């Protein structure tokens, strides 16, 4: 059994963690202002948690064997990503970009007892067409 003091320390630590994430996120948004379409911020924020991993470059390739033969593939940081599209759906906040389509690269894994917790990385295109904003996420 935990004490009230331990419980309070836990909640304070979680609060600090979330405030730090928000501060880092806002800093990343400032640094990327003008380098990426604004709708990608809302798309990334539609996940439960999200954090910036910085700007990266990718290597496109055609895999010899894949479960997704009709998809484009790329490598970044030792991981293989698949190119995909979806529409923006925001549940926790309103977005002027709700319903707009976004194109991005994704690497994803599942965790949890039921395999219903997802985490991974998104590579969101910068306006220069060469680099990508890498965003870690869970949902």
Close Cβ partners of 54 (under 8 Å, ≥ 6 residues apart): 133, 134
Residues spanned by the domain of 85 = 4-138
Nearest residue to 124 via CA among 42, 63, 5: 42
Q: Which residues are registered as beta bridge partners of 51?
A: 136
Q: Which residues are registered as beta bridge partners of 79?
A: 76
- Looking at residue 71, its pLDDT comes to 86
List the structure tokens of 93. Answer: 């906040």
Number of domains in the chain: 1
List the structure tokens of 59. Answer: 């290597």
Q: What percent of the chain has pLDDT over 70?
A: 96
Residue 126 is classified by DSSP as: P
End-to-end CA separation in angstroms for the chain: 29
Q: What is the mean pLDDT of residues 122-139?
A: 92
Q: Is 75 exposed, middle or buried (0-12, 13-18, 19+ CB in 10 A)?
A: middle
> pTM to 2 decimals?
0.82
Residue ranges of the alpha helices (H) in 33-120? 39-45
How many CB atoms are located within 10 Å of the residue 48 CB?
13
Tokens 């003008």 correspond to 34
Q: Which residues are registered as beta bridge partners of 57?
A: 131
Q: What is the mean pLDDT of residues 114-120?
A: 77
User: In this predicted model, what pLDDT tens digit does every residue of 83-115 receive, in sequence order?
Assistant: 999 898 888 788 888 899 999 999 988 876 666
């Amino acid at each position: 059994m935990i004490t009230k003091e331990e419980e309070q320390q836990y909640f304070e630590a979680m609060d600090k963690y979330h405030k730090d994430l928000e501060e880092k996120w806002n800093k990343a948004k400032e640094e990327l202002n003008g380098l990426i379409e604004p709708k990608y911020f809302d798309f990334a924020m539609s996940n439960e948690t999200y954090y910036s991993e910085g700007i990266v470059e990718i290597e496109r390739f055609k895999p010899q064997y894949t479960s997704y033969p009709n998809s484009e593939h790329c490598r970044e940081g030792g991981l293989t990503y698949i190119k995909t599209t979806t529409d923006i759906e925001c549940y926790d906040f309103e977005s002027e970009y709700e319903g707009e389509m976004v194109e991005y690269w994704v690497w994803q894994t599942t965790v949890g007892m039921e395999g219903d917790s997802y985490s991974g990385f998104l590579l969101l295109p910068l306006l220069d067409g060469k680099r990508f904003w890498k965003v870690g996420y869970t949902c």
